[in-house]
Amino acid sequence: MSEPQDVMDKLVSLCKRRGYIFQSSEIYGGTGSVWDYGPLGVELKRNVKEAWWTSMVHMRDDVEGLDASILMHPRVWEASGHVAGFSDPLIECKSCRRRFRADLPEVQERQCPVCGTRDAFGEARQFNLMFKTFMGPVEDTSAVIYLRPETAQGSYVNFLNIQQSARQKVPFGIAQIGKAFRNEITPGNFIFRTREFEQMELQFFVKPGSDDEWFEQWKAARMEWHLANGIRKEKLRFHEHGPDELAHYAKKAFDIEYEYPFGWKEFEGIHNRTDFDLSRHQEYSGKRLEYIDPSTNERFIPYVVETAVGVDRTMLVALIDGYREETVEGEERVVLGLIPKLAPIKVAVFPLVKKDGLPERAEKLHASLRRAAVNSFYDDAGSIGRRYRRQDEAGTPWCVTVDGQTSVDGSVTIRDRDTLVQVRVAEDRVLGWVKERLL
Ligand code: ATP
């Protein structure tokens, strides 16, 4: 297997070649740390979000969905603490003027990691990560507005709207998937840390006193979810935040970490945010945000257990974890071992040769799969071996081949990407066969 940096380079080029991920505004030389998702990338992204939404919202009675706006009242970010405290320590190299996050291990040695100057840095200063812009036609301070750096605040300010309209009782949660923006000082590692990204966040409101128990439940549930996405167990671990790592709002926090080619780093954050956010919004808005327990008439501000994971980061982990190079039947191949639920293309349909009516028959099968909303791909170009390799690299779990035998008994072969085992299945059974395995 290749060196870690090699793996990242190979993945970046595979993602471009196969239409997963392109650099943003590439023809202009690219924009720093933002990426565009191509035909396969957008499918993977949708599948990641669908998997999260299904498990967090559709399979539960105690979680409601929300899609809050990106632009919010500027007071929200004062109440949340982001205006005062959502910053990273920034240092600048005296020689090359490049800027870095002061807490990066690479700059702890006081040597510039880019130009190599020793004793390169002065005092660190705090740099706020929120993107600022103006709302309306007048650019004055009263019109300043921020692009949200997290989706969570939209859930807090809508806490009572949702609790009352959905007639939920505490404990219950609000789930959101949406874009977030952070003017990161040191973005990088492909889509690991970008300035525009998407989050999948759950805010789960509980009675104070039951928060520790709920925290444990969500911690376990989130780990289960990653395992169900096929991520290797030995590549995942929990990391508890020590007192100096804890965010200002958190009583307790665990990260789920993944072992990326560039080391163990955060994948998802699970936080006990106490009643910090709702209390602050109550204070800053002057509106009561208490919950009244209908059975006891007790009033309290709920505690919040939050689970927060990036869509892009989930994609990166799925791509890295699934990537493998191997030799089969004497030939090298690259495989993206995505689980079928996440794979962008579910089935590829090939005629073995371009004659004897096989292409027409294969196209008909392909069209019937598409009509049934199974993302199928038709390919008749090149040798069958090359067509298999292209699909292995794209992460397609099954390849269906229409061959001479099909004209005799109506059966086709289905080849499994991982085991390479081929089974013969009746043409009209292919849809059912695939659907059974997608469930
Ligand atoms: P860090 O300390 O590494 O900057 P964080 O602890 O501030 O990250 P959270 O605020 O907990 O991150 O964000 C929740 C999740 O959102 C992260 O676990 C990650 O999956 C995703 N995320 C956060 N920042 C980014 C980013 N800049 N690019 C891509 N995904 C991100």
Does the Cβ of 185 fall within 6 Å of ligand 1? no
The pLDDT tens digits of the residues spanning 171-218 come to 999 999 999 999 998 888 999 999 999 999 999 999 999 999 999 999
What integer is the mean pLDDT of 91-101? 87
Q: For position 108, what pLDDT does the model report?
A: 72
Overall average pLDDT of the 16-38 stretch: 94
Q: Whose CA is nearest to atom 26 of ligand 1?
A: 193
Of 132-146, 262-276, 330-344, minimum mean pLDDT range: 132-146
266 ligand 1 Cβ < 6 A: yes
How would residue 106 be classed by pLDDT, with cut points 50, 70 and 90?
confident
Ligand 1 pocket mutation pick from 240, 257, 313, 320 by most atoms within 8 angstroms of CB: 313
Distance between Cα 44 and ligand 1 center (Å): 20
Q: Which of 188, 209, 203 is nearest to 265 (CA)?
A: 188
Look up the pTM and report it: 0.94
When pLDDT is averaged across residues 101-130 and rounded to a whole number, the result is: 84
Evaluate the omega torsion of the peptide bond into residue 171 and state whether it is cis, within 30 degrees of 0.
Answer: yes
| CB atoms closer than 10 angstroms to residue 245 | 11
State whether the beta carbon of 280 lies less than 6 angstroms from ligand 1: no
Q: C-alpha distances in angstroms, 70 versus 83, 145, 151? A: 16, 10, 8
Q: What pLDDT does 261 receive?
A: 97
Residue 94: pLDDT above 90?
A: no
pLDDT mean over 363-392:
97
From 98-102, 231-235, 281-285, 395-399, the region with the lowest mean pLDDT: 98-102
Query: For residue 411, which of 433, 431, 429, 393 has the smallest C-alpha distance?
Result: 429
- Determine which residue's CA is closest to atom 2 belonging to ligand 1: 266
Q: Please check the confidence at residue 1 and state whether its pLDDT lies above 60.
A: no
* Average of per-residue pLDDT values in the chain: 95
The kind and range of the H/E element at 85 are helix 82-85
Measured distance CA(305)–CA(173) in Å, rounded: 9
pLDDT digits (tens, 9 = 90+) for 287-342: 999 999 999 999 999 999 999 999 999 999 999 999 999 998 888 999 999 999 99
Q: What is the pLDDT of residue 42?
A: 98
Neighbours of 133 (CB within 10 A): 11
Could you tell me the distance, in angstroms and rounded to a whole number, from the CA of residue 118 to the centre of ligand 1?
Answer: 31
CA atoms within 13 A on the CB side of 84: 7
Domains within the chain, CATH numbers bracketed: 4-72+149-319 (3.30.930.10), 345-438 (3.40.50.800)
- As a whole number of angstroms, the distance between CA 194 and CA 200 comes to 15
CB of 310 sitting under 6 A from ligand 1: yes
Q: What residue type is 182 in one-letter code?
A: R
> In three state form, how does the secondary structure of 55-66 look?
HHHHCCCCEEEE
Taking the C-alpha atoms of residue 260 and residue 192, their distance in angstroms, rounded to an integer, is 10
Rounded CA separation 35/262 (Å): 19
Per-residue pLDDT, 278: 98
The token pair that represents 382 in the structure block: 């090149």
Q: How confident is the model at residue 400 (pLDDT cuts 50, 70, 90)?
A: very high
Query: How many alpha carbons lie under 13 Å from residue 226 in its C-beta half-sphere?
Result: 32
Residue 391, ligand 1, Cβ within 6 A = no
Alpha-carbon span 398 to 322, nearest angstrom: 16
Q: What is the pLDDT of residue 2?
A: 60
User: What would the pLDDT profile of 277-300 be if each residue is shown by its tens digit?
Assistant: 999 999 999 999 999 999 999 999
- Which residues lie below 8 Å from residue 214, measured CB to CB, with a gap of 6+? 171, 204, 206, 305
The per-residue DSSP string of 189-237 comes to TTTTB-SEEEEEEEEEEE-TTSHHHHHHHHHHHHHHHHHHTT--GGGEE
Checking if the pLDDT of 382 tops 70, the result is yes
